[in-house]
Chains A and B, each alone.
Chain A
Amino acid sequence: MIPWSSFVQKAQSLIDPANFNIPALSSPDHNPSKASLFRQQFRLPDSQNPLQEITADLVLPLPNSSANQGDGSRKVDRAGNTYTGRLHLSERFICFSTQPTSFIPSATASTSTAWTGQTHGTGPSGNGFVLPLSCIRRVERLHSASHVFSLALTTWNGLLNKQQEPNLVPQRLILQLVGSRQACERFCDTLKKGLREGMKEVDNLRTVVTDCYSEYLLSGAKGKGQDGNESDTRQPPDAGLGLIFRYPGDARKLRDRSKMRLWGEYFRENGRNATLIRQPTFHKLIRVGLPNRLRGEIWELTSGSLFLRLQSPMLYQQTLSKFDGQESLAIDEIEKDLNRSLPEYPGFQSEEGIGRLRRVLTAYSWIDPEIGYCQAMNIVVAALLIYMSEAQAFFLLSALCDRLLPGYYSTTMYGTLLDQKVFESLVEKTMPVLWDHLTKSDVQLSVVSLPWFLSLYINSMPLVFAFRVLDVFFLEGPKVLFQVGLAILRVNGEELLETQDDGSFISVLKSYFSRLDESAHPRSENPKLRAITRFQELMVVAFKEFSGITHSTITETREKHKGAVLENIETFAKRTSIRNLGPESKRLSVDDLGTIYDRFYETLYQWEQRQRVIEEETRRQERKRSQRLSMLAPPADTQVGRVGLGPSPTHMDYEAFREFLAATSKWAVADSPGPSGKEPSSGKSALWANRRQPANHEFMQRLYRKWATNPEEGLNLQNVVNGLARLKGSPDIMNNINYFFDLYDDSGNGQVDREGILKISEALLFLSRRGFEGTITATPSVENLNSTADRDHAENSLTTDEKFLGSVSAFIRRCFEYADPSHPENRKADQQDATAEATEKLDSFAIGDDDEEEDLIDVDDTKPASSPAPDATAQTAKSATPESNSDDHNRSTSESANPALDPNNPLHITLPTFRMVVLADELLEQFFESYFPQSFHLSDHPHPAALAASSSMSSNLTTFSNLGSIRSSGLAAGSAPVAGASGGIVPPGKGLRGVLDNIVSDGIRMAAEVKKRMDEAQRDLERNALSREEDEDEEDDEDYPRRENTAAAIPGGIPSWGAGAYGADTERRSIVRDADRDLLEGAEVLGGGKEERTSLLDGKDDANHAPRKVSGSAASAKDDGSPTARDGEVISKLVEFES
């Protein structure tokens, strides 16, 4: 698996503005969904989907109003206009556009993207309307002679004001549906439903509309002194700081008054704000520049942010009060820049302006934590605030970040970088000569153009001109930025061709921007030509000469470059983040760090994805639509951390950490996919198919807790790197032994108690259950050791795995043997002897002087008694073949076993003891020297997953096929509870009793027995009504509920290592060792309840057997790098089955 590909995909799904609403998982193709195209075209909120569409004629009646108008300046003698186009219906909107489009599911992708072609200045939504259904007051079916299906819509236009507007004629438009009767009926049915819902939102509409300057303008209140005195009292709505601090530019020169008059007329004839109908004049009026007081409102309308505000009119205020007083990094960053935003505008030298800027930026940073705050947003928002209210700016900023400038302000700024690449490639295409020149003279274009895009020319051109660009930009979309940029270069082409370096290149453009208001043809004879300003010229070049630059040009070019851009960003991010990991990380190679980095984020990413699918499923079951905090953002299921989770994840919790470990170490992979009720049973199986089900062992929890600085928060990359660096970073065996000991030193006092010893042994077995990958080899002498008992025929054929069981078994024995009692006063004489012996040996091993303080008392006690260390022991330490000791050991085991098992005698081992015990065994020594650190696979080995996944089928890892029937008995005797709970494989049909005698004790069983005996002893104690507080018991009580499986309830059961980890593994640990027999016999006597439990197991067997095999084959197929659909199915079925 290529680690980054999934990342790239994720980012790609974010980049593509049209991709917003498709769950990235279910739509691998890059075609934007029709729904998102629909929303884009009509600038609708993401909650809207295309429900119905039909061809229709829009008939706009002759504007009676103009006839009745007092001024009578316009004698309109044209008939009502008729437009043919497509009528669309969504949940809350009815839209009509002359652009040929289709969004019905059966439409082809090419027809549904048709609008992205040339729009001839009408913007993507063409002529027509986008009406919220709440705007519609009445719909009548018109009777007509022909077969035409006619509807007459009457709107609330002008009726939402408290005051009666003079000369108001209700807005009425006629729609003639063209289609089959059924199609028309269907359309009407849906419309009816929508209208019913829409009626509930009229209040919202009223709130929103009241903030629009157009309402004020048309209410007649503006025309002071004309008539209607009562209307003079009305305050104009907030049309930005400009109302207080004046609007930039000379209003007379901008011909603001006449523009205002024209707009007033347009509104009267075609409706205003939410009920506005777009006719060609609308687009022309925008092209010549908006009048100051209507600018904000029209921006809001054309960008679609009005509909966002309509959707949740109070969101801005609510967000501010909800997060009032809270702090964040974004707020700090915002604070730094407040005084640095358009400082030349007087409004931003005042507390009023600064305050508005602060509130809008802050509120936005809360609803979109993934963006938070990016420098340049301050400049853009400052500019917006000159023309619109805070709430309007807030919603418009949202439309900008989510749709118009996708990814521009994100934490990686991929959108910015991508559009720079797009721009460069457009320059190369449209102006090859200039491009060649730039390349030759090594001028970096994006250095100039980046601020153009990032701050929408606001920081580059004089404000008045930048706002003219914005007027068109909000109507026609991002392509405008490109068109203008190209035009700038084209207009200055000749001069630019003479520049030789960045400096002169930049100067040419700067001086151009400073003279935009000058005549473009100062020397022309023709006064009309002379009157044309450079800015007008620029607009003409941008929209005429570069009219070929369309939305689809941009989309396609983005598509072409985004892979490379993302890769660059990722390489940079990875490089930077690896370099900044701190000194600890230097112990690992750069390759290793790279591997950790990739795996860390890949795991996190996939984990998130799965969580999201699960959440989605849950949500779908609960309620389909829920109010989202962020408005234009895709629903929570398509974008990471959008709503609640905050910016993209940096920390993994324990669950994700398990996945990480499973990708790192074979032992962390569960043997069979465990039952997990959380996984959805259908549809999304691909996500689960590629997955190695991680095991869940107490050891992994310990690792997690050890690595985390704050387990609540999770592990970040730094934690993981540090954790691995300490394990793998030094080849020192002592380091590894210490590390392991520390993991189990719960109290932090340098002691591991009885429970801890057992847990260590469990962990040793857990870690080794998949074999040693050749890192451990037993020397023949070990076999000799093992064959001290009377039965030695099979010794030579023992595999390393099997021998290791012996080692673990010996480990437990020795630990108890050499353990120190925890309460010195409880010591009995024989124990003291044992301790003396232990300490003596300990001394002779002489490892780790640094821990001596801890043993001070013991050492003092026993020093006089210590005899000179025999050479043999020293030798043992080195060769780890304690032949000479073996008898001793066995003997002392039997002697010390009983006190060791007595829960009344709490005991512990210290680090030196632990080291000694480990070093006393060749296999354990090798385990800590090489296997343990090497079992964490980084870049140094082939991906362990490959090995792990196929392991269940291959013979080198399990002795599954070799051991045959013995296993079942071993299993039954030793770890039935475990297997029973985890659903491992239990070959059927073997009698229990009969084989019991021959069974071997492996380490697990040892541990089980020890525990059992302790529990028995405890029960005896209780039966005798000797109530005493016991450390052991307390621990057990705390311990068991934690364990997930039923084994926990069984006295002496081995804590599970999670889903199916152990079924087969316990079986192969079938070695008879006489030394252990006595224990075993005890087990037989004690294990009364075992039989039935095993039979239970047998019953389960068939059920569990089948899926395991299936998963094995699915997994190996996956590892060939060719996950097929069938594998997915299999897994999904499997999941279904298991859950």
Chain B
Amino acid sequence: MSEAASANAPKPSSSVKLVLLGEAAVGKSSLVLRFVNNDFQENKEPTIGAAFLTQKCSLPTRTIKFEIWDTAGQERFASLAPMYYRNAQAALVVYDVTKPSSLTKAKHWVAELQRQASPGIVIALVGNKLDLTNDGGDVSEAAGAAQDESESAQNGEEGAGEEDEVQDAVSGDARKVSTREATGYAEEEGLLFFETSAKTGTNVVDVFTAIANAIPESSLKTGRGTGAGTGQTSLGNRSAEDSRVNLGDRNAATAKEGCAC
């Protein structure tokens, strides 16, 4: 709830284009669904092409409106990706902590973004499905590991990584990608790093908050709306207020967003 509204007074609002990339079925759409609607579906339809959703994130000094592009993960859709990450200011590169191949794919995406996306793009590496690992059960601890900005998050993870490996050895953990390996890589490449669970909600909001904080003030274009200011970003009443526009969805939701253009 770190971004829960402190906002009764209008704050400067700006929009940030964010793209989600990663192997098929790692849980990209689920992460977005959790962030936007605080919901989770066991049988989420695969994303065809891309889905577009928006969600606001309230920071102490400003409001960030995320324009989220959720892309399809199947390999052959990769050539469509440039269409979606074009002009993106932030990217969530997602892998599945129980599938090592998905981290490899994530690394490919990071490399692709670093070379092809707009310079200065903020990239967060996200290991999803934390609930399937042993440390996934303890929400508070895992959440504590990485809730702040990149530096502190990464420092925190160092310690956690070692614990992981001990745990891996002891139990029938589904984890196949150690925290340490991923942190190491994230550090090397200067990425934000989180482990999340879309299912339980662990760390999900934190990822987006961290990204919002990491976007340099200078690169923010002012949003079309001036701060919405009605506190709709708190998790509780989100679903009622926020627009959720899925390209594949038949039941349309109108974007209200409280913005008066």
Contacts and interface: CB of A to CB of B under 8 A. Distances in A.
Interface in B36-94: 43-50, 52, 54, 67, 69, 72, 74-80, 82-84, 86-87
A722 to B, nearest CB: 17
Interface in A88-103: none
A374 B252 contact: no
A538 to B, nearest CB: 15
Given A374-B74, A412-B79, A500-B224, A447 B46 contact: no
Contacts of A448: 247
Interface string B3-41: 000000000000100000000110000000000000000
Given A410-B76, A413-B79, A579-B115, A375 B46 contact: yes
B169 interface: no
B245 A501 contact: no
B253 interface: yes
Given A455-B48, A579-B108, A462 B250 contact: yes
B245 A503 contact: yes
B180 to A, nearest CB: 20
A454 interface: yes
Interface stretch (A339-347, A383-391, A925-933, A1030-1038): A339-347
Interface in A298-332: none
A413 B87 CA distance: 23
Contact of A507 (B43, B84, B112, B243): B243
A412 B67 CA distance: 27
Given A451-B48, A572-B79, A576-B108, A333 B74 contact: yes
A417 B80 contact: yes
A579 B105 CA distance: 12
B46 to A, nearest CB: 5
Nearest to A344: B250
Nearest to B111: A579
B255 interface: yes
Contact of A460 (B25, B74, B83, B248): B248
Contacts of B243: 503, 507
Contacts of A413: 76-77, 79-80
Given A375-B24, A412-B79, A576-B108, A343 B43 contact: yes
A202 to B, nearest CB: 42
Nearest to B73: A375
Nearest to A569: B79
Interface string B163-177: 000000000000000
Contacts of A579: 108, 111-112, 115
B188 interface: no
Nearest to B114: A579
Contact of B72 (A375, A410, A460): A375
A935 interface: no
B221 to A, nearest CB: 11
A652 interface: no
Contacts of B67: 501-503
Contact of B224 (A501, A568, A575, A576): A501
**B interface, by DSSP: helix, strand, loop or mixed?**
loop
Contact of A573 (B15, B79, B257, B261): B79
B249 interface: yes
A340 to B, nearest CB: 5
Interface string A503-522: 11011001111100000000
B218 interface: no
Nearest to A444: B83
Contacts of A378: 46
Contact of A447 (B83, B112, B249, B257): B83
A770 B69 CA distance: 57
A375 B48 CA distance: 7
A1112 to B, nearest CB: 43
A379 interface: yes
B46 A511 contact: no
Interface in A691-746: none
A73 B206 CA distance: 72
Contacts of A410: 76
Interface residues of A, number: 51
Interface in A179-209: none
A460 B247 contact: yes
A11 to B, nearest CB: 12
Contacts of B24: 333, 336, 375
Nearest to B75: A411
A454 B86 CA distance: 21
A446 interface: yes
A461 B243 CA distance: 19
Nearest to B104: A580
A15 B257 CA distance: 43
Contacts of A514: 250-252
A376 interface: yes
B115 A375 contact: no
Interface string A630-660: 0000000000000000000000000000000
A119 interface: no
A513 B46 contact: no
Contacts of B82: 572
A1138 interface: no
B46 A337 contact: yes
A507 B252 contact: yes
A965 interface: no
A460 B250 contact: yes
A450 interface: yes
A931 B196 CA distance: 54
Given A375-B48, A375-B72, A576-B78, A336 B25 contact: yes
Contact of A502 (B46, B49, B52, B250): B52
B95 to A, nearest CB: 15
Contacts of B25: 336
Contacts of B108: 576, 579-580
Interface in A571-594: 572-573, 575-576, 579-580
A506 B250 contact: no
Contacts of B69: 447
A459 interface: yes
Nearest to B24: A336
Contacts of A412: 76, 79
B231 to A, nearest CB: 21
Interface in A438-475: 442, 444, 446-448, 450-451, 454-455, 459-462
Interface string A923-966: 00000000000000000000000000000000000000000000
B232 to A, nearest CB: 16
A1120 B116 CA distance: 37
B255 A504 contact: yes
B54 A503 contact: yes
B52 A506 contact: yes
B76 A343 contact: no
Pick from B79, B87, B248 the residue with the most CB of A within 10 Å: B79
A416 B15 CA distance: 30
Contacts of A507: 243, 245, 252-255
A1128 to B, nearest CB: 36
Contacts of B261: 500
Contacts of B87: 442
B85 to A, nearest CB: 12
Contacts of A462: 250
A454 B224 contact: no
B79 A376 contact: no
Contacts of A580: 108, 111
Contact of B49 (A333, A341, A450, A461): A450
Contact of B252 (A504, A511, A568): A511
26 contacts: A339-B43, A341-B45, A379-B48, A411-B75, A411-B76, A412-B79, A444-B86, A447-B247, A448-B247, A450-B48, A451-B48, A451-B248, A454-B48, A502-B52, A503-B245, A503-B257, A504-B255, A510-B249, A510-B253, A511-B254, A514-B250, A569-B79, A572-B78, A572-B79, A576-B108, A580-B111
The 7 closest A-B pairs by CB, nearest first: A510-B252, A450-B49, A507-B255, A514-B252, A459-B248, A511-B252, A339-B43
